[in-house]
Amino acid sequence: MAKAEERKHEEPAEPEEREDREAEERSSPSGKVIYKAILTEGEEELERPTAALFWSGLAAGLSMGFSMIAEGLLKAHLPDAHWSILVTKLGYSVGFLIVILGRQQLFTENTLTPILPLLQKRPQATLRNVARLWLTVFVANILGAFVVAMAVTHTDGFSAEAMQAFRDIGAAAIQPSFGGHVLRGIFAGWLIALMVWVLPFAEAARIWVIILLTYVVGLGEFSHVIAGAVEVFTLAAGGEAGWGEVLGGYIVPTFIGNVIGGVMLVAMLNHAQVTAGGAAKDL
């Protein structure tokens, strides 16, 4: 009888427990949970051998060529109207979709993921490891972008209309000043790192998150050091810009801007907001 009374008193608590569990399942993950997920991913990336990073980075550099190619093909087939840019810039997202869904190493993603372990641990060995990853991935990405640019320029794989569209894209990309590229690069690095930050828990919306944020990068003509490298290298390979102008006037300032946008505006700020008040001990 006493047991029956016990069960009777316990039963009303069960719906509340179920509601609490359901509320927990439906709630958005906390900043600390997202931080831990990216921290773990960053630690795994830092453990990868240099050769694996290089080949993955080369694949990413090649894949990013499809941002220019897709945008150029859309541009070549659309009328020269003020609204056409809203459609052509959808092509800019193609390279990012291939790289991110294919888990290839892209430099601007690495302005966030390996930086969190560095901020968390800060030993000299971690700093050297981050420098190794950055150098390997960046060189491999740039090499892949160069190969695509040379292939596009020195083969007859594309129509004259498409080639003109590629040249127009490259000319627009290189136009801003050194300071302009730094500023535009900050916005691009910021958005790409934010994309990396939200992707772990985007679930079924992953593709739309990638498309939306990279579309904004393209539409805003923000400077992305790898996607833009394909565009300006194509311009230089066709003899319409000097290699010095391309490297010193685009690659260097855009690199600086992307690093500032990714490291300072996303990695450091999110690290600070998650670990403030001694929360770092629990991570």
What CATH number does the domain containing 91 carry?
1.20.1080.10
Q: Which residues of 209-236 are buried (b: 16+ CB within 10 A; e: fewer)?
A: bbbebbbbbbeebbbbbbbbbbbbbbbb
pLDDT at res. 176 = 94
pLDDT at res. 118 = 81
> Residue with structure tokens 């892209």?
106
Global pTM reads 0.83
In this structure, which amino acid lies at residue 194?
Answer: L
- Give the residue ranges of DSSP H helices in 199-251: 206-219, 227-237, 243-246
- Is 89 inside a domain boundary? yes
144 close to 60: Cβ distance less than 8 angstroms: yes
- Is 46 inside a domain boundary? yes
- Is 69 inside a domain boundary? yes
Chain center to CA of 46: 17
Torsion of the alpha carbons at 253, 259, 262 and 263, rounded to the nearest 10: -150
* Euclidean distance between CA atoms 135 and 145, whole angstroms: 15
pLDDT at res. 31 = 65
pLDDT at res. 194 = 87
Q: Residue 152 is part of which domain span?
A: 30-282
Based on the number of CB atoms within 10 Å of its own CB, is 268 exposed (0-12), middle (13-18) or buried (19 or more)?
middle
- Reading the block at residue 6, the tokens are 């016990």
- Is 22 inside a domain boundary? no
- Is 9 inside a domain boundary? no
- Is 188 inside a domain boundary? yes
How many domains, in total, are found in the chain? Answer: 1
Per-residue pLDDT reduced to its tens digit, 234-254: 999 999 999 999 999 999 999
Based on the number of CB atoms within 10 Å of its own CB, is 173 exposed (0-12), middle (13-18) or buried (19 or more)?
buried
- Reading the block at residue 146, the tokens are 């160069």
- Is 211 inside a domain boundary? yes
Q: Is the dihedral of CA 186, 192, 194, 196 positive or negative?
A: negative
| Other CB atoms within 10 A of residue 156 CB | 7
193 close to 112: Cβ distance less than 8 angstroms: yes
pLDDT at res. 218 = 96
pLDDT at res. 278 = 56
Stretches in the chain below the pLDDT threshold 50:
1, 3, 8, 10, 23
In this structure, which amino acid lies at residue 245?
Answer: E
- Is 105 inside a domain boundary? yes
pLDDT at res. 23 = 47
